[in-house]
Structure 1
Amino acid sequence: MARQRPGGGPSTPATVALDRAGIAYSRHPYDHDPATASYGLEAAEALGVEPARVLKTLLVDTGKGLAVGVVPVDGQLDLKAVAAALGVKTVTMADPAAAERSTGYVVGGISPVGQKRALPTVLDDTAYAFDVVYVSGGRRGFDIGLSPTDLASVTRAVRARIGRG
C-alpha cells in the first residue's frame, strides 16, 4: 500500500517524480465511486473545479509504440490532431491492458507523470488558459494540481490543439 504523505494523498510514482524534479504541486485525494461513468468528471466535481481544468491521460498507439495525449475531461481526443503533433500518419487508441503495462498505472488512474517509461506526450493547448490544472496522481480518487508549464516540463510534452469539445 502507498504511504500517506503530509498534505493528504498517497505517495505514488507521480508524486515521487514531481518531488525529485522539484516541481510544486498540490495533492487532492477524494472518495472515488467505482460505479462512476466518468472518472474525470467525478474528479472535477469532487475538486469543485470546472471540468476544463481537469485533464485526462489517454494513450494512443502510433504503430511504432505508445504515446500520451492529455486533454480536458469534458472533451475528446482528436486522433488526427494527435498524430500530426507526434509527426506520424495515424494513431489509434491503445489497448487498455497495454496502457496499464506501459505506464504502471490502472485505467482511470493513469497519470501523465511518473510512468514506467517516458512516452512521447502531447498536452492540449487549452490547458495553458489556467494557472493550475489537475491530472491523475496515479490512482483513482487522487489528483494532483500543478501549472501546465510544469506539467509539460516534467513530461517533456509538446503543446498542440489535440482536444475537441
Structure 2
Amino acid sequence: MSKVTRATEVLEKAGVSFTTVTYDYDPNAERIGLQAAEAIGEEPCRVLKTLMAEVDGKAVCVVIPSDREVSMKKLAAAFGGKSAAMMKPADAERITGYRVGGISPFGQRKLVPTAIEATSLEEDHVFINGGQRGLQVRLAPKDAQSVLKAMAAGLVA
C-alpha cells in the first residue's frame, strides 16, 4: 500500500504535521469507521469518518466521529439549507476521486464546502482517512479544520 496519496500530498504542501497508520481494511464491515478504529486500537470518537452529502441538492463534505450518526436536520442548518441527504456512493466517488471506504476530505477532485463536528476539535489528535482504504492520517483536529477551511458545527444526532 502506498502511503502517498492526494490527501497526504495536500497535508504535506500545507506544512501540517501528520503521521500515517495502515490497517487491514474489511470491505464487509458493517460500519467502516468503527472497523478502522478497532483495527488501529483507537477510541472511535477520535477516528473521524468522511461522509459526502447534499444540502438542497449541492454537494458537501461532513467529518464526524465514527461512532456517531449525522443529523440531517443539523447538517442542513449548518449549511443554511432546508434539506440534507446522503450522497449516492457512485456520486461520492465521482466528485471526490476516491473509492468508498477510502474517501478523504483532503485532496478531493472537486472542492466542496466542508463541516467538521465541533466536539472533535476538543481532541488532542484525530484520525481521518488518508485517501485509500486501510490508510488513516493522525493529526491535530484544528490542523484538519484549517486545511479543509471547514466550518465547525454540531452535526451529530
TM-score by structure 1 length?
A: 0.91
SS in 2 for 1:139: coil
Aligned to 2:40: 47
Aligned to 2:128: 135
Aligned to 1:120: 113
Matched, 1:34 2:27: yes
SS in 1 for 2:28: coil
Alignment check: 8 A CA contact 1:54 1:133 kept: yes
Give the distance between the partners of 1:95 and 1:62, measured in 2 at CA.
13
Question: Aligned-residue CA RMSD in angstroms?
Answer: 1.2
Give the distance between the partners of 1:161 and 1:34, measured in 2 at CA.
29
| Aligned ranges 1:61-100 → 2 under 5 Å | 61-100=54-93
Quick one: percent identity of the two aligned structures? 43
SS in 1 for 2:130: strand
Matched, 1:107 2:100: yes
Greater mean alpha carbon deviation, residues 26-35 or residues 46-55: 26-35
| Aligned ranges 1:146-157 → 2 under 5 Å | 146-157=139-150
Give the distance between the partners of 1:39 and 1:29, measured in 2 at CA.
14
Instruction: Tell me the amino acid that sits aligned with residue 80 of structure 1.
Output: K
Greater mean alpha carbon deviation, residues 58-67 or residues 88-97: 58-67
Alignment check: 8 A CA contact 1:103 1:116 kept: yes
SS in 2 for 1:145: strand
- Runs of 4+ deviating beyond 3 Å: none
Aligned to 1:13: 6
Structure 1 spans left out of the alignment, 5+ residues: 5-9
Instruction: Tell me the amino acid that sits aligned with residue 88 of structure 2.
Output: D
Aligned to 1:7: none
Alignment check: 8 A CA contact 2:56 2:82 kept: no
Residue by residue, what CA displacement relative to the aligned partner does 1:100-122 show, whole Å, maximum 9, x if unpaired? 00000111111011111111001
**Cα deviation, residue 64, structure 1:** 4.1
Give the distance between the partners of 2:147 and 2:139, measured in 1 at CA.
11
Give the distance between the partners of 2:81 and 2:23, measured in 1 at CA.
38
Instruction: Tell me the amino acid that sits aligned with residue 26 of structure 1.
Output: T
Instruction: Tell me the amino acid that sits aligned with residue 152 of structure 1.
Output: Q
TM-score by structure 2 length?
A: 0.95
Instruction: Tell me the amino acid that sits aligned with residue 46 of structure 1.
Output: A
* 1:159 aligned to which of 127, 152, 155: 152
Give the distance between the partners of 1:89 and 1:140, measured in 2 at CA.
33
